[in-house]
Structure 1
């Protein structure tokens, strides 16, 4: 986190900066994509963010963007190199979803989100790694391990771990991500970038059979709030979301430091990160009030959809259960059992929604820790048992899943540095559901206020895998 007023001149350009420069003719899409490909070639060996790099095809597509600019098109993402998480289709490329059991055949058409990003002038330089079927909160599979660019001994998180690592390492300025149980916010928190899960219905989901029973959403990852807003505006087809405004009035912020489950405990450094964000908002003139959220005593509504959603996707894709990792097989079997005994009933979700709406009445924003514990080591979780994976996932990242179950907008922003582990810390912001992107606009507004008052280091320096980076200067503990 740089000192206020200090420019981070070493970092690669932002997406908004690239797009403005390409539109103005100061650079070209081909030049920006070439620079991104060079960064990937130099930096991704240590990080392992990319499943596939589209070097030749990306350069050809960049030339088309330059021709569109020359023809007078005004493209909001003109020439911006970006990455797509390997769980939605990109025309001409396979979609492996972190699994050797999936088809290597190229997909026929782009997902609607990819089509919108390309129509806006962005260039897909590659697909980012995920854990098998995007199930877990660490990104490793038969294809390799994705590491946290700030500390290569630690996981980047998951399941959008490849996207978070690619952005945090400065390989691309923005990346697509998807979030079914925290899969945008968990890796964003691990890697110290901005990640936003939109509320239900704002951005086309269309993942797998039913997007994990409606819990999964597509969203942006970026190093700045402005870039996240710009990408979200394109993904949602709502240009007005790109204009991030300061909060128009004094907000009431609920600081919720309670832990959602007795299976987790809150690390002191991560608690301090949330408290730091709360102080920054209070210093900005907002009212900050301690809030106790009615976290459900019964986690089965979310767990059943998580387990059964993965099984439905595997069945839809015709995947043989025996060809999947042991942890994923156990996950799917647990989902079948829970579904058989009524675990997918909507009644508990409806009751929880009513309780949460009542508890947050009168609050504009909810602020929680992003993680309960720093992310675990990056070391072969795909070879470990389902119980080991469940224990570490629930223990370190329990704050995200509830908001998928309810469909509320939620975002993560960086908020400091954890000296004990050598990774960034982050806070989570949640807003009650609203119409027409109003909730997401409020989230972006508050996130931008935090960015102004507690600015963060945008990009990690990548060191060898033997150790971390050490503590960046000017980052609060």
Structure 2
């Protein structure tokens, strides 16, 4: 019998609602795949094997099964979000091992929609960096386990790319969904400000948002609708294939490979794939022109101050001796930035005033998602602050502007890099345009399909 592991969330939920398969069997297939292969990937800090089966049985017994958008769908949760009964370690030895009393609101919404939490995924300490490693383990890219899965939602991305779950929950403060999605060949959606409840500490001064990691546009849309609490996320809308959406019209799309961080350039292979995506969208009838957002010259300094300042907030109350040296220095620089008045609250408004005319002219911005290959997988938490910061900045300068501005942004697979790893592009939209970006991603998926999961020594799904 064919395993349910590797199937889409839309397929699984539809089959469970039609009672073609029991949630217990779906979850068991995914747990078996995790047990067989996660030793090579390192996606999970905690696998909730017995608890997940019990939760699946409870889903199967529900009287409202036909109305659950995520009926029986296994999901993974990033280990900085509380899951009832599990500790939230946030990648650190300095955090308590006390089990959470309640689910985070996003986890509660997924469970209310019928999803089953199979485990908590690895993150770098305090979710600071774009490589996922630390005292609890190393998350590797399933397409090439010698490379990082990215970060900070690296364990979540690795879990989806390996076919351990069809959906995973993460969050994004400077690219922490989009960076691992780009490395691992997934869709990673950072919603715009306020679309999904945050309710998790300071959120790096309002830059962080929770969102989905998925292998298809339809799955990403389904999970986003549940997270956002959209009223039209009933199960009947998600039976087969693409969910309904408005008639696709021609969009005005700006294409740019210009880095927002001075001195950091986009590599040729990454620019070439984005240029190919621009030609694909132009051929599909969209109006695509080369146009560069007016990034401020000071953007690099502003985002560094907020990055370090947010970590300084997150490190408050933790034993500094239990933090990795790179984290201690990051937090120390954040405190200095605060003392120097570099964490002003008007940075977002100033950036949006500057970007406003650009997004009045263009519906969507298309860019490369990454600028360079991800670093090798390894113990980056044992290396110095400067080495980590330079490696992160060189790889992923394209993502942070959209956290500071609060605009929705999505990374999605497109093409293949010379290394054989998946390529990726980024789509950025106006406030409230998440579904427009997902429509565009679905169109690119139709025109340029991708392999959904990594082979891991077997035929890819």
Query: Under a length normalisation based on structure 1, what TM-score does the superposition of the two structures give?
Result: 0.91
* Mapping 1:166-181, distance limit 5 Å: 166-181=159-174
Q: Which position in structure 1 is the counterpart of 2:79?
A: 86
Shift of 1:330: 0.5
1:286-344 Cα offsets, whole Å, 9 max, x none, are 000101111221123322221111111221xx211221000000000010011111111
Q: Which position in structure 2 is the counterpart of 1:268?
A: 268
The answer to whether residue 453 in structure 2 is matched with residue 459 in structure 1 is yes
Shift of 1:27: 0.2
Unaligned runs of 5+ in 1: 1-8, 464-468
Q: Which position in structure 2 is the counterpart of 1:98?
A: 91
8 Å CA contact 1:301, 1:349 repeated in 2: no
8 Å CA contact 2:369, 2:424 repeated in 1: yes
Shift of 1:442: 0.5
Q: Which position in structure 1 is the counterpart of 2:252?
A: 252
Q: Which position in structure 2 is the counterpart of 1:399?
A: 398
Shift of 1:91: 0.3
8 Å CA contact 1:246, 1:448 repeated in 2: no
8 Å CA contact 2:5, 2:165 repeated in 1: no
8 Å CA contact 1:416, 1:426 repeated in 2: yes
Distance in 1 between residues matched to 2:16 and 2:431, nearest whole Å: 36
8 Å CA contact 2:30, 2:74 repeated in 1: yes
Change (3 A) 1:310 1:300: same
8 Å CA contact 1:11, 1:459 repeated in 2: no
Unaligned runs of 5+ in 2: none
8 Å CA contact 1:77, 1:121 repeated in 2: yes
Q: Which position in structure 2 is the counterpart of 1:215?
A: 207
Shift of 1:239: 4.4
The answer to whether residue 439 in structure 2 is matched with residue 445 in structure 1 is yes
The answer to whether residue 231 in structure 2 is matched with residue 232 in structure 1 is no
8 Å CA contact 1:140, 1:382 repeated in 2: yes
* Mapping 1:35-54, distance limit 5 Å: 35-54=29-48
Distance in 2 between residues matched to 1:259 and 1:149, nearest whole Å: 28
State the secondary structure of the residue aligned to 1:411: strand
State the secondary structure of the residue aligned to 1:361: helix
Larger displacement relative to structure 2 (365-374 or 288-297)? 288-297
State the secondary structure of the residue aligned to 1:461: coil
Shift of 1:351: 2.0
Distance in 2 between residues matched to 1:16 and 1:147, nearest whole Å: 26
8 Å CA contact 1:246, 1:446 repeated in 2: no
Q: Which position in structure 2 is the counterpart of 1:411?
A: 410
8 Å CA contact 2:254, 2:365 repeated in 1: yes
8 Å CA contact 1:146, 1:378 repeated in 2: yes
1:118-143 Cα offsets, whole Å, 9 max, x none, are 00000000000000000000000011
1:64-123 Cα offsets, whole Å, 9 max, x none, are 000015x65511100000100001100000000000111111000000000000000000
Distance in 1 between residues matched to 2:449 and 2:249, nearest whole Å: 22
Q: Which position in structure 1 is the counterpart of 2:280?
A: 280
The answer to whether residue 147 in structure 2 is matched with residue 192 in structure 1 is no
8 Å CA contact 1:244, 1:444 repeated in 2: no
Shift of 1:11: 7.4
8 Å CA contact 2:5, 2:164 repeated in 1: no
8 Å CA contact 1:58, 1:123 repeated in 2: yes
Larger displacement relative to structure 2 (347-356 or 12-21)? 347-356
Distance in 1 between residues matched to 2:5 and 2:306, nearest whole Å: 40
Q: Which position in structure 1 is the counterpart of 2:11?
A: 17
Shift of 1:422: 2.9
Q: Which position in structure 2 is the counterpart of 1:112?
A: 105
State the secondary structure of the residue aligned to 1:106: coil
The structure, 1 or 2, with the larger RCO (C-alpha pairs under 8 Å, 6+ apart) is 1
Q: Which position in structure 2 is the counterpart of 1:4?
A: none
Shift of 1:247: 5.1
* Mapping 1:14-163, distance limit 5 Å: 14-69=8-63, 73-163=66-156
Distance in 2 between residues matched to 1:295 and 1:382, nearest whole Å: 31
Task: Tell me which stretches of 4 or more aligned residues in structure 1 moved more than 6 Å.
Answer: none
State the secondary structure of the residue aligned to 1:376: coil
Change (3 A) 1:72 1:260: closer
Distance in 2 between residues matched to 1:72 and 1:431, nearest whole Å: 35
8 Å CA contact 1:11, 1:458 repeated in 2: no
Distance in 1 between residues matched to 2:66 and 2:415, nearest whole Å: 40
Distance in 2 between residues matched to 1:250 and 1:67, nearest whole Å: 46
* Mapping 1:384-395, distance limit 5 Å: 384-395=383-394
Change (3 A) 1:247 1:366: farther
